[in-house]
Chain A
Amino acid sequence: MIKKIFLIIKNNILLMGLVGILIGLLSSWILYEGLHRTSDDRFCIVCHEMKPMVAAYHNDVHGGNGKVGIKVSCVTCHLPHDNVIAYIATKARNGVVEGAIHFFGNPDAINWQANRANRQHFVRDEACYGCHTNYKTNEAISVKGREMHEHYASLKGTDKEISCASCHVEIGHKGLRSMLNYYKPEYEYYKGKLDTKKDEAEKKLAEEMK
């Protein structure tokens, strides 16, 4: 009798464990799929005001315009990767804030040109050297480039710290300044005169997003 009860408990614990593992796996799968499917340009552009940024991204090696067709998703560069909690929290907060601006705010008032000066704030360095691991030693980089990468590393952790985007100004979005000008010219002089360029970019973007 005692033996039988012990067996049932043992069985139950095993069952509970199995159910637990299943629930765990299922929720991580949902979380993974959820994070994965909401990470690329197709999804982000739904709410974020970023047509010109995405159009410029498609011109860049990071956006799939390289010889080998590798494409990094928006979140790779723009979300923190040092901590998974911070990653999810930032993603959620950005989603809510950008969604609110898109639906209730005034997206036209965003000064894209001025925001280019804040590029260091929008790009995460750990994402850069997460892929470009040998940026200090890679001999495909010019001697000067390697020297400057040493300079970058030597400033890390000091009050003079710089970031990858400090020097690599249009990284990830080739021709960003031009693309922003097609959509929203920074000088009165260009207003209305770059519309054909904008139409071309829109058409190309629409095709790429199909």
Chain B
Amino acid sequence: MRKKRTLCVLGFFFIFSVMSLFGVDTNTSSPKINMTPELKKEFPIKAHHEKLSLSCTDCHEGQGDDPKDLKLIGDKGCLSCHKTKQFLADRLKFMDALHTNPHNSIHDGPKLYCDECHNEHKPSENMCLSCHSNDVKIWMRPTP
């Protein structure tokens, strides 16, 4: 009887240690994704991010190590480096004088979602173009 209890306790102890080990493993390790040329072609990143040698996990934190499973990072992800929408709007203040600041537009202010215009792994789309198709290029450069 006593032996059985000891065995049970030991068993629980063993199971919990293994579980905690796995738990620790998934929480702290930041998986390194090996960027092959094929993956690079499939998930191209913007030149300005490439120049900083950013890796997938710098943006896709805690999302595992399979590039195909990585999810959108949303505004919170973008702004973890790019500060705030107001900060970005202020950087283009000269455009405010003619109401052409895309980060502080006359319609939406500094409130748009980042990915309404900027895409990371495919060409960006400038939302202004959907109405101002003829004149956008005379007051701003292509969307990064």
**Which residues of the other chain, B, contact A147 by a CB distance below 8 angstroms?**
58
Chain A to chain B: the 3 pairs with minimum beta-carbon distance, closest first: A178-B94, A181-B94, A144-B80
**Chain B interface (Cβ < 8 Å from any Cβ of A):** 51-54, 58, 80-81, 90-94, 97-98, 100, 138-140
Query: What are 28 of the A-B contact pairs (CB < 8 Å)?
Result: A142-B80, A148-B81, A151-B54, A151-B58, A155-B53, A162-B51, A166-B51, A166-B52, A170-B91, A175-B90, A175-B93, A177-B91, A177-B94, A178-B92, A178-B93, A178-B94, A181-B94, A182-B94, A187-B138, A187-B139, A189-B98, A189-B138, A189-B139, A190-B97, A193-B97, A194-B97, A197-B94, A197-B97
**Chain A interface (Cβ < 8 Å from any Cβ of B):** 142, 144, 147-148, 151, 155, 160, 162, 166-167, 170, 175, 177-179, 181-182, 185, 187-190, 193-194, 197
Given A144-B81, A187-B139: A194 in contact with B94 (beta carbons within 8 A): yes
Task: Report Cα–Cα, A189/B92, bound state, in Å.
Answer: 15
**Which residues of the other chain, B, contact A166 by a CB distance below 8 angstroms?**
51-52
Taking A181-B94, A193-B97, A197-B94 as known contacts, 16 extra A-B pairs with beta carbons closer than 8 A to each other, sorted by chain A number, are A142-B80, A144-B81, A147-B58, A151-B52, A151-B53, A151-B54, A155-B53, A160-B53, A162-B53, A170-B91, A175-B91, A177-B94, A178-B91, A178-B94, A189-B100, A189-B138
